[in-house]
Structure 1
Amino acid sequence: MPSPDSSSTTAVPPFTMGPALLFCPADRPERFGKAADRSDAVILDLEDAVAPADKPGARDAIVEQSGAGGLEPSRTIVRVNPVGTPEFELDLQALAKTPYRTVMLAKAESAEQLRSLADYQVIALCETAAGIVNASPIAAEPNVVGLMWGAEDLLASLGGLSSRNDDGGYRAVALHSRSAVLLAAKAAGKEAIDSVYVNIPDLEGLGVESRDAVASGFGAKACIHPNQVAVVREAYAPAPEAVAQAEELLEAAAAAGSGVFQFKGKMIDGPILKHAEATLRRSGRPAR
C-alpha cells in the first residue's frame, strides 16, 4: 500500500466538477437526469438520503440508469456508505457494474479506509471527530481528489445539538472543523468542498456563506435542493469588474517585470497576483 505522504499527491488529476454539486437520493432515479441538468455535478446518494430498506433498490437504480444515455461519468459522484458496514461492500459491488469512478466516502475517518477504494477517485467526507482530526493523512492518500466536511453529522458525533448558533452562524467547533478540512485539502494539493446549507428557503444566507467559501478558498459547495445551485454559481462567478481589474493588474505585472511593484497606489507582490489569477480561473479565462 502507498504511504500517506505528500509525494503521493501528484498522482491525482485536479477536481473539476464544481462549483455547485447537487445531492440526489439514489432511490429516486426519475430525478437523476434533472439533478444533473441543474448542477455542475450530481451526487447520487446511497447513504443518509436512502432508508435502509430502500438501499438495494437504490443500488439497482444506479446500475440500471448507468447504461447508454445514462449520466455523464465525468459529472457524476456516488456517495457510498461508511467503510466497515455491510452496505459499503454492497455499494462497491454495484459500482463495479457502472462507469462511475468518482465516489464520496461518507464518514471517512482514516487514511487506511481510502485504500479500500484504490480503483476510484475519492472525495473524503470528514464528518466525525476522527475524520476532522485525521484530515491531513486522509487528504494525502493517492486516490483522494478532495475533502468535504459535514457540519450536522459532525456535531452529532460530538454529542452536540446543532452546528449553528441562534443567529445562523456556525459554532466555534464547526468553524474550526471547516478550516481544518480546508487547510488539510489545500496542503495536500487537493480540492476542498464546503458543507451543505440546510435552511433551504434562506437563499440570502446561502449566498453569504457561499461567498465566504469562495473567499476562503473552497473550490465547490454541495447543495441539497436545485434552487440552491444558482446561488452557489453566482457566488463563484466573479463580477465583470473584478475580472477586468484582475486582467489589468496582471498586465501591469507583466509590464513591470519585477517581483514587487506599485499599482494604483498599492504595493503588489506574489500573493496579490495569485488572487488575480484565481479570479480569472473562476471566470473561465486562462490566468496569464
Structure 2
Amino acid sequence: MPSFDSPARGTVPPFTMGPALLFCPADRPERFGKAADRSDAVILDLEDAVSPADKAEAREAIIAQSGDGGLEPVRTIVRVNPVGTPGFELDLEALAKTPYRTIMLAKAESAEQLKALEGYQVIALCETAAGIVNAASIAAEPNVVGLMWGAEDLLASLGGLSSRNDDGGYRAVALHSRSAVLLAAKAAGKEAIDSVYVNIPDLEGLAAESRDAVASGFGAKACIHPNQVAVVREAYAPAPEAVADAAELLDAAAAADSGVFQFKGKMIDGPILKHAQATLRRAGLPAK
C-alpha cells in the first residue's frame, strides 16, 4: 500500500492508505473500532455526518477513544469542518489532544487555507466550485498528501440538483471535476481519492465505478457503508491472470533490452510497461 509522505510532516508518522476508506460518524464511538477493522483506513467525520448539536460530543468521543487501545493513527483520518466555520478551530483544539495527525479538510477552497494546518497531513476535499478551480494550487501545498473530490456538495455549490443523470452516470460537470482533481493530485505527486457512491444497495454500480477509478489512476475510493468495502477492494485487487500477464511482460522487456519491442503481436513501449508495474504493485508484489 502506498504511504503518504509530506516534507512538512516532521514527526508525524506517515499515513498508510489502502484502497477502501470508510467514513464513520464521530458521534458514534461504538462504531469506531468496527469501521477501522473493516476498512483500510477509517475517516472519523466531524462535519456532515454529525448534527451541529452533537459536534461537541463527537469531539470528546474522538479524544476519549484516542488513548491506549485506540485507533491506529497511521490508519485514521479525521474530517474537520471547513475553514471559517465555528467548528473548525474547535476541531483542531480537540485533535491537539489526540495522536491523530491526518486531517481531511472539508470544502477546501484555496492553498491559503492549508497554512492553518501546518503540522498536519491533509487530504484536501475539493467539493465546491472554488475547490475544483483551485485544485492544482491546493495540491502543491507541502502538507497536502492527497486530494479527494465530492460530487453532491459540488453540485449544491453550483446551484444544481444532482451530480448524476437518470442512468446513474455522472453529469458532465461532475466528470470534469473528477478528472480535474485526479490530474491536479498526480501532477503534484500526491494521491487521489475517488468520491463516495451514495446508492448503497447498488453494489454492481459501485463495482463498475470502482473499476473505473482503478483504471483512471485513483489510489483509493471512499465508502459510506461497510458493505461497500469488499467491493472496492475487489476492484483494486488485480485478477491472478492479470498479475501473471504483467510479470511475463516485464520479464520479456528485461530480456529484450530495448525501448520498444513486440510481445504477443503487440507493440510494447514505456507506458505499457508502467501499466504492468502498477498491476504488480496493486497485487503487493515488487514492480520489476
One fold, TM greater than 0.5?
A: yes
Aligned position for 1:4? none
Shift of residue 11, structure 1, vs aligned partner: 2.3
Shift of residue 15, structure 1, vs aligned partner: 5.8
Tell me the distance in 1 between the aligned counterparts of 2:201 and 2:121.
Answer: 33
Counterpart amino acid of residue 250 in structure 1: L
Aligned position for 1:227? 227
1:102 and 2:102 equivalent?
yes
Aligned position for 2:7? 11
Tell me the distance in 2 between the aligned counterparts of 1:12 and 1:125.
Answer: 19
Seen in structure 2, the aligned counterparts of structure 1 residues 202 and 277 have a Cα distance that, compared at 3 Å, is same
Gap regions ≥5 residues in structure 1 = 1-8
Aligned position for 2:242? 242
Tell me the distance in 2 between the aligned counterparts of 1:147 and 1:12.
Answer: 16
Tell me the distance in 2 between the aligned counterparts of 1:255 and 1:33.
Answer: 49
Q: Is the 8 A contact 2:6 2:143 kept in 1?
A: no
Counterpart amino acid of residue 238 in structure 1: P
Tell me the distance in 1 between the aligned counterparts of 2:266 and 2:100.
Answer: 48
Aligned position for 1:218? 218
Tell me the distance in 2 between the aligned counterparts of 1:188 and 1:159.
Answer: 30
Tell me the distance in 2 between the aligned counterparts of 1:280 and 1:286.
Answer: 6
Q: Is the 8 A contact 2:15 2:74 kept in 1?
A: no
Q: Is the 8 A contact 1:22 1:229 kept in 2?
A: yes
Counterpart amino acid of residue 205 in structure 1: G
For the aligned residue pairs, the C-alpha RMSD in angstroms reads: 1.2
Give the match's secondary structure for 1:193.
Answer: strand
**Equivalent residue runs for 1:27-46 within 5 Å:** 27-46=27-46
Aligned position for 1:187? 187
Q: Is the 8 A contact 2:24 2:42 kept in 1?
A: yes
Aligned position for 1:5? none
Aligned position for 1:139? 139
Structure 1, residues 91-133: CA drift from partner, whole Å, max 9, x if none? Answer: 0000000000100000000000011111100000000000000
Q: Is the 8 A contact 1:18 1:221 kept in 2?
A: no
Aligned position for 1:287? 287
Aligned position for 1:23? 23
Q: Is the 8 A contact 2:21 2:221 kept in 1?
A: yes
Shift of residue 16, structure 1, vs aligned partner: 3.3
Give the match's secondary structure for 1:142.
Answer: coil
Give the match's secondary structure for 1:43.
Answer: strand
Give the match's secondary structure for 1:57.
Answer: helix
Seen in structure 2, the aligned counterparts of structure 1 residues 194 and 101 have a Cα distance that, compared at 3 Å, is same
The sequence identity of aligned pairs, in percent, is 89
Q: Is the 8 A contact 2:200 2:228 kept in 1?
A: yes
Structure 1, residues 1-60: CA drift from partner, whole Å, max 9, x if none? Answer: xxxxxxxx9727886312000000000000000000000000000000000000000000
Aligned position for 1:3? none
Give the match's secondary structure for 2:88.
Answer: helix
Tell me the distance in 1 between the aligned counterparts of 2:35 and 2:272.
Answer: 37
Structure 1, residues 186-238: CA drift from partner, whole Å, max 9, x if none? Answer: 00000000000000000000000000000000000000000000000000000
Structure 1, residues 159-186: CA drift from partner, whole Å, max 9, x if none? Answer: 0000000000000000000000000000
Residues 248-257 or 10-19, more deviating: 10-19
Counterpart amino acid of residue 240 in structure 1: P
Aligned position for 1:256? 256
Tell me the distance in 1 between the aligned counterparts of 2:284 and 2:174.
Answer: 32
Q: Is the 8 A contact 2:135 2:184 kept in 1?
A: yes
Tell me the distance in 1 between the aligned counterparts of 2:6 and 2:107.
Answer: 25
Give the match's secondary structure for 1:11.
Answer: coil
Seen in structure 2, the aligned counterparts of structure 1 residues 32 and 209 have a Cα distance that, compared at 3 Å, is same
Tell me the distance in 1 between the aligned counterparts of 2:219 and 2:31.
Answer: 25
Counterpart amino acid of residue 261 in structure 1: F
Aligned position for 2:201? 201
Tell me the distance in 2 between the aligned counterparts of 1:118 and 1:47.
Answer: 20
Aligned position for 1:178? 178
Q: Is the 8 A contact 2:123 2:145 kept in 1?
A: yes
**Count of residues in correspondence between the two structures:** 280
Q: Is the 8 A contact 2:15 2:102 kept in 1?
A: no
**Which aligned segments of 4 or more residues in structure 1 are displaced greater than 3 angstroms?**
12-16
